[in-house]
Amino acid sequence: MIAHNFDYIVPNSLSEAVNLLQKHGAGAKILAGGHSLIPMMKLRLATPECLIDIGRIPELAYIKDAGGLIRIGALTTHYAIESSDPLRRQCTTLGEAAATIGDVQVRNKGTIGGSIAHADPAADYPASILALDATIVAFGPKGERKIPASDFFVDMLTTTLEPNELVREIQIPVRGGRAGSAYLKMAQKASGFAICGASAVVELDSSGAISHAAVGITGVGSRAFRASETEKLLRGVKPAADVLKRACEHASDGIIALEDIHASADYRLDLARIFARRALEKAIERAG
């Protein structure tokens, strides 16, 4: 279908983009890579009166290793994330999530800021963003606001961003010592979106016991979530196969799963338990 008529504005800076958001109010939408918004407009699920195209603001596309913290600009493409050396070495799960998104065309245009602001329940990044304890830096009329990942995703297509704010940066703390991470997913065959995706981040102490375990899961519920019960059961224990299996039986505790033509709710809950265990095994192997 053909999208509804709309105005199109190209700001040159972040402040100009925020001013335009304020001026045009609820009728305005930010356009980044366009790989979620344009399909929605063509289906008339979104009918913005005005598109503010931030795609040409140069200061928003970067990956910076700031020593202990990796900073990723909102306009950084999935391809740039997938092929970044610092991310591959220090936040493997995020690069792995990026590499599984859609196809080459989607990864060349789609951006991390657009993906997390869109908050599709089947998007790949949210699992890793949660497990990595990332911080989302929003920018609005009052300047910057830091939002912990655990507070960012509220529900299907809903985040805690204010209507006049945009995502400026994603900050990821780097774990030192014996740390490892991984992202694994069961993809929907036609689109590549996650029926279930699991991200695990693990740190081992000098005795080989788990000192930190975080598991983020996407595709299962109306928003990505942390498998907190699993994480609790793993803290301080040696990562034997039976221990992991028992802990991951609780990976989808308390979650109301989605149900559609691709997978039943029960199947999604099962996948969460299985993919949590597989992602943990991989992360532990990488932690050495």
Ligand X SMILES: Cc1cc2nc3c(=O)[nH]c(=O)nc-3n(C[C@H](O)[C@H](O)[C@H](O)COP(=O)(O)OP(=O)(O)OC[C@H]3O[C@@H](n4cnc5c(N)ncnc54)[C@H](O)[C@@H]3O)c2cc1C
Judged by DSSP in three states, 133 sits in coil
- For ligand X, which residue of 21, 131, 166, 172 counts as binding (CB under 6 A)? 166
Q: Exactly one of 114, 216, 219, 221 binds ligand X (CB under 6 A); which one? A: 114
Among 106, 147, 265, 274, binds ligand X (CB under 6 A): 106
Return the residue matching tokens 């306009």.
75
Quote the least distance from Cβ 37 to ligand X, whole Å: 4
Q: Pick the stretch among 105-113, 170-178, 222-230, 240-248 that binds ligand X (CB under 6 A).
A: 105-113
Here the tokens at position 200 are 């695990």
Give the separation between CA 271 and CA 255, rounded to whole angstroms.
13
69-73 and 166-173: which strand pairing? antiparallel
Angle formed at CA 108 by CA 131 and CA 76, multiple of 5 degrees:
50
Question: Is 140 near ligand X (CB under 6 A)?
Answer: no
DSSP-assigned states of every residue in 39-72: HHHHTTS---SEEEEGGG-GGG--EEE-SSEEEE
Instruction: Using the minimum distance from each CB to ligand X, give the nearer residue, 73 or 180.
Output: 73
Closer residue to ligand X (CB): 3 or 174 = 3
**Contact flag: residue 94 with ligand X (CB under 6 A):** no
- Judged by CB under 6 A, the residue of 18, 20, 31, 57 near ligand X is 31
How many residues are listed for the chain in this entry?
A: 288
Handedness of CA 14, 20, 23, 29 (dihedral sign): negative
| Binding mask of the shown chain, residues 118 to 137, with x at each position contacting ligand X by CB under 6 A | x-x--xx-------------
C-beta of 94 vs 233, nearer to ligand X: 94
CB of 251 vs ligand X, minimal distance in Å: 20
254: alpha, beta or left, given left = phi > 0 and alpha = psi -120 to 50?
left
- Asked if 192 touches ligand X (CB under 6 A), the answer is yes
Site residues (vs ligand X, CB under 6 A): 29-37, 39, 74, 101-102, 106, 110-111, 113-115, 117-118, 120, 123-124, 161, 166-167, 191-193
